[in-house]
Amino acid sequence: MRMRTSVAVVTGALALSALAVPAAQADGGYGDTAITKVTVNGGKNVVVGTSLVKKFTVTLTAKDDSGIEGAEISLNGPGFGFMNSKASCSGSTCTASFTVDPKTDLMYSNDYAGTWYVEAWVDAKDGDYVWKEKAGSFKFQRASRQTVNASPEPVKKGGTLTVTGWLSRANWDDFKYHGYTVQPVKLQFRKKGSSTYSTVKTVTTNSKGDLKTTVKASVDGYWRYSFAGTSTTPAATAAGDYVDVR
C-alpha cells in the first residue's frame, strides 16, 4: 500500500512512517497536555471511488497551560491501512492534510474499508506531551451507487408496476463498480405534489446486486430505492422515477 501525505510517502502494507512518530503503544504522556477533540473530514465519512482523488483533513484540538507546540497524526485501519502526516498548529488547533488516489494507493485494498482510528502525538511548549492511540475514529468507505426504473410508463390505475434497480460499490481490485450482494434496500414512494417519501417494502439484492419487485399503481408519483449503508459502504439513494398513472 502507498498512502501519500502532505509531508511523506508511506510505502508497503506494513508501512513505517518517515516522520519521527513513536511506534504504536498504549496511551501515555507527561504533564498536563490533553487532546480535547478530533474531527475527520468535517465529521463526514471518508468515501473513495474508483478514480477521483480524495483529499481530507484531520483537525485536532488540544490544551496545555503553556500552549501547543506541534502535533503528528497517524491514521490506522483494517488490512494494515496506514497514513501519516505532520500537523500545522495555530493556537490550540492542529490540522493535518491527507490525499488518497485510489489507483495509486488502494490497488487490491478492499479490506481497507471499515473503521479507522486516529493516533495523535501532541507536544506542548513546556516539554509536556500526550500520546493517544485511538484519539478518534471514522469510516473509510467504498463509494456506492443506486439506480431505479419503474415500468411500464404510463401505467393503468390498479395495474402492476415492476420496479428494478442496481446497487453497486467501488471495487479497488479493478477500479470498477460491482454489484453489492444480499443487501436490504428500501423501496420508497412519493406522491405527486408531496415532498415526503414513505417506505413501501424492503427488497434484498441478488447475487449480482440487482433489485426487482412489483407493486400496484394507484396514483401518480415517484419511485426510488434507498440503501442505508454499512460500515464499509455509504448510503445511496436513487433519484425518483416518475410514473404517470392513468
In contact, 96 and 8? CB cutoff 8 Å: no
Ranges 17-21, 125-129, 148-152: which has the least confidence: 17-21
Mean pLDDT, residues 119-124: 98
Q: What is the pLDDT of residue 25?
A: 53
Other CB atoms within 10 A of residue 160 CB? 11
Q: What is the pLDDT of residue 65?
A: 97
pTM of the model: 0.87
134 half-sphere exposure, CB direction, 13 A CA radius: 7
> What is the rounded distance in angstroms from the CA atom of residue 161 to the CA atom of residue 166?
17
Q: Tens of pLDDT along 191-210?
A: 999 999 999 999 999 999 99
Q: Which CATH architecture has domain 2-142?
A: Sandwich (2.60)
Share of the chain above pLDDT 90, in %: 89
- Asked if domains 2-142 and 144-243 share a fold, the reply is yes
Q: Tens of pLDDT along 57-88?
A: 999 999 999 999 999 999 999 998 999 999 99
Selection from 38, 27, 36, 62 nearest residue 133 by Cα? 27
Sorted by where each begins, the domain ranges of the chain are 2-142, 144-243
Task: Indicate if the pLDDT at residue 182 is higher than 50.
Answer: yes
- 144-243: what fold? Immunoglobulin-like (2.60.40)
The 3-state secondary structure of 202-245 reads: EEECCCCCEEEEEEECCCCEEEEEEECCCCCCCCEECCCEEECE
